[in-house]
Structure formats: structure tokens, C-alpha cells
Amino acid sequence: MLNLDDFSDLIQRPDSGVRRDAEERRERLVVPPRALGRLDELGEWLSAAQASVPVKPIERPRVVLFAGDHGVAELGVSGRAAGTAHQLVRATLDGESAAAVLARRLGASVRIVDAGLDCDPSLLPDEVVRHRVRRGSGRIDVENALTTEEAEQAVRLGMAIADEEADSGTDLVVLGDLSVGGTTAAAVLIAALCGTDASVVTGRGGAGIDDLAWMRKCAAIRDSLRRARPVLGDQLELLATVGGADLAAATGFLLQCAVRRLPVILDGVVSAACALVGQRAAFRAPDWWLAGQLSGEPGQAKALDRLAMNPLLDQGVSVGEGTGALLALPLVQAAAALAAELPERAESDSGDTD
């Protein structure tokens, strides 16, 4: 049986010695120190992650989206009908989603992995559906999302995808999800791991819901929390009980990316929940991840606070699907370009600029 705690021994922090070298180099550049604000910090972080001074440019960014349907959506907790996540997948494949448009403009390729869609596999290309763990996840307020074996299979799926991306030369991942009901499962994980109640983490979701649906969602999270608390000591059991195939796969993906020293930009509340589970398994893992943007979901804010992550942007983009993280991609690319290409000052130049 897979033990997620084993990742703690496999994951090291980005190279602190390289980061110091990057900081020293930054002091010598023609643009004064701190004049580039947070871009300096990002450039130094990338240098440490790449173990390279100067930092290498981001040339092969990749959007990875884990897709799945959640049985809890049957309760009317989402702005979309239960079992319709495949429509989100199709829109992205056809280039008609917000994430697809941004990825196209930013030169990032998109990979979609069906971990638990509730649809006929013939509706989507084989390269999307061939990894599916099961058809839909269980209704977490009354039953487990997955069996323990399915949860392990999903985590291992995410690990395998991370290995494939690292081996293929991907140098930065934008992580997102394509799900219906996923924000409800994510909120349960966050509330359980942060020790808070349902109302603190219940948001409106990417599709937006009215007040009645919000109350239904809050009740579903409350009932699911009762089922989550007894298994808090075992991350795999927690994912099986109140997660889902897509969330378990994303968790495995994040942990293995940290093992492979592959930096990741997190999107919204779903990826934040998976990161929180990953942090519980391996405390060094979050050093390899960035929070792309603040979505306005209260659960995401709670998770990022626990992860000690400061989002790069605050645009209130709640659509999910990797969109908010994609908006942050140009900032990370800019930080890498500036750190790599700005020249150093001449020896006689004091570097003082008014």
C-alpha cells in the first residue's frame, strides 16, 4: 500500500546555495536591487529550483488539467449539472474555454487527464480518457469518494503524469482542474485539514451559485466533514473518503513534481486543497509550488494561509480550469527573462539610480 508520508524523505528543498548565488548576482545587475519588486524573488526562486545561475528562461510551460465528476453535485451544489464535466473538457479541447484561449496566446501546451469523468469514454479522445480510474466519484456526504485501492491508483496516476512531464522537458507546470462538484470536495479537505467548520470554507464555485445552492453546499460540506475527521491521520484514506479521483491524482502529481524538481503554479481552490494534502505528507513540497492568483473562494484563502503562500495576482478569477494560474505565467516568465538577460553593472558603477 502506498504511504504518502514516504514522500517526506524523497523531497528536498530548492538549492539554498544556488539561491544565495542568485541573490548575489541580482545585487550586481544594472537595475537596482528591489526595484523589480516581487519579480526579483521569483527569479531567485526559479534559480534555486533549476539549480542554475543565471536562471534559464521558461521555454516549455505546460498546462495540466485533471478532470472528474463528483457525486456530491447531485445535491445541487454546483452551477453546472452533475455529470457534465466532460463538456468542460470538450470546450478546452476545442479551444473555446478561457484557459484554452490564454494557453494559446501564452504559448503553453495543454494536457487533460480524465481521472474520474462520468461519461461514455467514446465522447472524448483516447489520450484523455485512457487513464480513467473510475466513472465518477462517490457522494462524499454519505459514501466514500473512492475505495482505498482506487485512491492509490489515482495518486499513482498523478505521479506517472508528473514523471512524463519532467522526462519530456516541461520546465514549468500550470495546474488546474476540470470538474463538477470539485470545489465542494476541495472545501471539505481544507476544512478538515485546517480544523475549521463548513461555513468558513464554502464558496460559490467556478460556475457561481445562488443562496439556496450555497446553503445546500454548506450542508453537504458539514456532513462530509463528519466523515473526514476520523481519517485525518492517513492522507490516502482522506482522499478516498472525501476527495475524488481527480483530486487524488492532482495530489500525487504535485508531490512527484516536487520529487522531480519541477515547479508548479497552482490555480484555485481545488489545486490549493491538493497542495494542502501534499504538505501534510511532505512539509518541504510546497517550496516547489507558487500560488497563481486569489480566486475569491474562502477555502482557497484558508489553504494558502496554512501553506504560507502569497498569491502572485488578485484578480478574483473564479472560473477555475487553470485560468487564474495561466494569468500568472507571464509574470514568472518575465522574472526568468529579467534575471537571465539583464547585464551586470560595470565595476565603476555604484548602481545608485534616482
The CATH code for residues 61-329 is: 3.40.50.10210
Active site residue: 44, 165, 237, 321, which one?
Answer: 321
User: Has 321 been annotated as catalytic?
Assistant: yes
Residue (of 11, 24, 18, 7) closest to 46 by Cα position? 18
Phi, psi of 206 (to 5 degrees): -65, -35
Number of residues in the chain: 354
- pLDDT tens string 211-242: 898 899 999 999 999 999 999 999 999 999 99
- pLDDT tens string 289-304: 999 999 889 999 999 9
State pTM to two decimals: 0.94
Contact criterion met (CB below 8 Å) for 258 and 49:
no
Contact criterion met (CB below 8 Å) for 110 and 102:
no
Query: Could you give the CA distance from residue 170 to residue 63 in angstroms, rounded to a whole number?
Result: 10
Residue 348 has pLDDT above 60, yes or no: no
Contact criterion met (CB below 8 Å) for 206 and 298:
no
- 335 CB burial (10 A radius; 0-12, 13-18, 19+): buried
The dihedral region occupied by 255, where left means phi > 0, alpha psi between -120 and 50, and beta the remainder, is: alpha
Residue (of 146, 67, 131) closest to 99 by Cα position? 67
Residue (of 336, 328, 332) closest to 293 by Cα position? 328
Query: Could you give the CA distance from residue 87 to residue 334 in angstroms, rounded to a whole number?
Result: 34
- pLDDT tens string 297-337: 999 999 999 999 999 999 888 888 999 999 999 999 999 99
- pLDDT tens string 264-288: 999 999 999 999 999 999 999 999 9
User: Residue 275: helix, strand or coil by DSSP?
Assistant: helix
Residue (of 143, 185, 159) closest to 276 by Cα position? 185
- Could you tell me the three cell numbers for 270? 481545488
Phi, psi of 135 (to 5 degrees): -90, 100
